[in-house]
């Protein structure tokens, strides 16, 4: 089929989806309307970028251009990311069939930051032929926003992972780091304030090292908290026990995960966490925050340990407020987490340390949790399997739309 993917085109997950579609024999056009043209070099994918120079009536300009591109490409179906932005733009074109895909913050928080954001999201959801939700919490939130959307929502983790890359294998990373006899913790989340809670893990590091001096830490990812977190590690006098990687590609990340003993994530809110799935797929036990999306994958004490964050309702409202008052968060500018206090449990960092220490001292439990995570990842997180589900959904919608067009006036303004 011919698929037009309207998306920011800024993440590796979008590239992976586009590449998978091409590998499975589809013709793919990726369309980005972001202010700055992203790099999108996926073999076999046609990439198109457009953003008006003149700010006046920008949305109208983008929609008119998008309609033109869709008329020329003649896709069988359009897949959009983020109902509040790209999904909204596709909805304005009138194109059908259209599937919009939610990620996390775009549904859990953005619609509650401003009246306009809420209206844009609701409009996109109402007009979409299907809405893909990658967690139960997101699906429930979509239903709350637009109750009539329930028959059109589909629980489908389309942003799954490549199990051929993320799989248990020998890694030379330990030797390269000189940590062959150490226990290694790894965190692979980007460093953004108000959402991922990286700073709470940093505060837990001295507590972990005091109890288990043989531990070493790998931190991968990059974001607006880089300078602050780096400085805090220096202040805590633990920098010699930490390897700060910054951004690494997927192949290198798989190697670092395979060199580690425990994966840690302290996020305060999330959608489907690919970082968690990647760790599970290499058979790592996990210590993660007890937020609803993580509980879709982790049962406390069975395949990982869940750490209580605090009042999730208050945390969610605080995130909404911060995103409304500080839109610069989306632009990845330098920001201090001290500007965005979160109502988390006062013992959160201590509880993280306690869970990690307990797991470090139970090698047999770590191994069993790792085996369970590998099994779960192979059963539920395989990109090929999830993409096949997307194909079945898309083919059904295409057939239904063609039936409507053949029996009645065309449904799409872009045709």
Closest residue by Cα to residue 357 from 349, 76, 127: 349
Q: Which residues contact 173 (CB under 8 A, 6 or more apart)?
A: 255, 256, 258, 259
Residue 92's CB: how many other CB atoms inside 10 A? 20
- The rounded mean pLDDT for the chain is 90
Contact between 323 and 107 under an 8 Å Cβ cutoff? The reply is: no
φ, ψ for residue 194 (rounded to 5)?
70, -10
Q: Would you state the CATH architecture of domain 173-380? A: 3-Layer(aba) Sandwich (3.40)
- List, for residues 135-157, the tens digit of each pLDDT value: 899 999 999 999 999 999 998 88
Helical residues (DSSP H) of 165-303, grouped into ranges: 173-177, 198-211, 226-235, 250-258, 274-281, 292-295
Domain ranges for the chain: 2-160+382-407, 173-380
Instruction: Please determine, for residue 328, whether its predicted confidence score (pLDDT) is greater than 50.
Output: yes
Q: What is the pLDDT of residue 336?
A: 59
Q: 41: exposed, middle or buried (C-beta count within 10 Å: 0-12, 13-18, 19+)?
A: exposed
410 has a pLDDT exceeding 50: no
Q: What is the pLDDT of residues 225-241, one digit of tens each?
A: 788 888 899 999 999 99
Q: Contact, 81 vs 124, CB < 8 A?
A: no
Q: According to the CATH classification, is domain 2-160+382-407 in 3.40.50.2000?
A: yes
Phi, psi of 51 (to 5 degrees): -150, 125
Position 9 pLDDT exceeds 70: yes
Considering the chain, what percentage of its residues have pLDDT values greater than 70?
A: 93
344-382 core/surface letters (b: 16 or more CB in 10 A; e: else): bbeebbebbbbbbbebbeeeeebeebbebbbebbeeebb
pLDDT computed for residue 53 by the predictor: 84
What pLDDT does 31 receive? 96
Q: 313 CB contacts (<8 Å, ≥6 apart)?
A: none
b/e burial code for range 390-405 (CB count within 10 A of at least 16 → b)? bbebbeebbeebeeee
Going by C-beta distance under 8 Å and a sequence separation of 6 or more, which residues neighbour residue 410? Answer: none
Q: Are 282 and 250 in contact (CB under 8 A)?
A: no
* Residues linked to residue 265 through DSSP beta bridges, in sequence order: 288
Q: What is the pLDDT of residue 258?
A: 96
Greater model confidence, 222 or 348: 348
Q: What's the mean pLDDT in 321-331?
A: 66
- Say if 2-160+382-407 and 173-380 have the same CATH topology: yes
DSSP state of 300: B
Q: Could you tell me if 43 and 22 are in contact, meaning their C-beta atoms sit under 8 angstroms apart?
A: yes
């Amino acid at each position: 089929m011919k698929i037009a993917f309207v998306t920011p085109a800024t993440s590796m997950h979008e590239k992976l989806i586009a590449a998978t579609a091409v590998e499975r024999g589809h013709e793919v056009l990726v369309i980005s309307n972001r202010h700055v043209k992203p790099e999108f070099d996926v073999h076999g994918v046609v990439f198109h970028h457009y953003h008006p120079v003149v700010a006046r009536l920008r949305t109208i300009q983008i929609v008119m251009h998008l309609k033109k591109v869709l008329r020329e490409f003649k896709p069988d179906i359009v897949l959009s990311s983020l109902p509040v932005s790209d999904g909204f733009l596709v909805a304005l074109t009138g194109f059908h069939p259209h599937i919009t895909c939610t990620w996390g913050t775009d549904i859990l928080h953005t619609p509650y930051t401003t009246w306009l954001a809420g209206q844009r999201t609701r409009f996109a959801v109402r007009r979409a032929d299907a809405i893909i939700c990658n967690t139960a919490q997101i699906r429930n939130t979509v239903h709350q926003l637009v109750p009539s959307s329930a028959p059109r929502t589909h629980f489908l983790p389309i942003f799954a992972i490549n199990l051929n890359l993320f799989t248990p294998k020998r890694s030379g990373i330990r030797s390269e780091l000189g940590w062959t006899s150490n226990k290694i913790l790894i965190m692979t989340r980007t460093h953004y304030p108000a959402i991922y809670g990286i700073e709470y893990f940093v505060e837990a590091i001295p507590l972990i090292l005091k109890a288990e001096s043989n531990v070493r830490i790998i931190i991968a990812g990059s974001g607006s908290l880089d300078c602050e977190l780096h400085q805090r590690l220096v202040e805590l006098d633990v920098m010699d026990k930490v390897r700060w990687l910054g951004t690494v590609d997927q192949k290198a990340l798989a190697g670092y995960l395979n060199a580690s003993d425990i994966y840690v994530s302290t996020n305060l809110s999330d959608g489907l966490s690919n970082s968690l799935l990647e760790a599970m797929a290499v058979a790592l036990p996990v210590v993660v925050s007890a937020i609803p999306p993580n509980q879709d994958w982790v049962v406390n004490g069975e395949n990982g340990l869940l750490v209580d964050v605090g009042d999730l309702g208050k945390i969610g409202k605080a995130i909404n407020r911060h995103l409304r008052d500080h839109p610069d968060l989306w632009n990845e500018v330098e920001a201090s987490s001290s500007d965005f206090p979160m109502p988390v449990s006062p013992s959160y960092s201590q509880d993280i340390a306690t869970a990690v220490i307990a797991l470090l001292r139970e090698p047999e439990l770590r191994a069993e949790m790792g085996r369970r995570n590998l099994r779960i990842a192979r059963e539920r997180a395989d990109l090929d399997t999830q993409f096949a589900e997307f194909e079945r959904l898309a083919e059904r919608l295409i057939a239904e739309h063609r039936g409507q067009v053949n029996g009645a006036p065309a449904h799409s303004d872009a045709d």
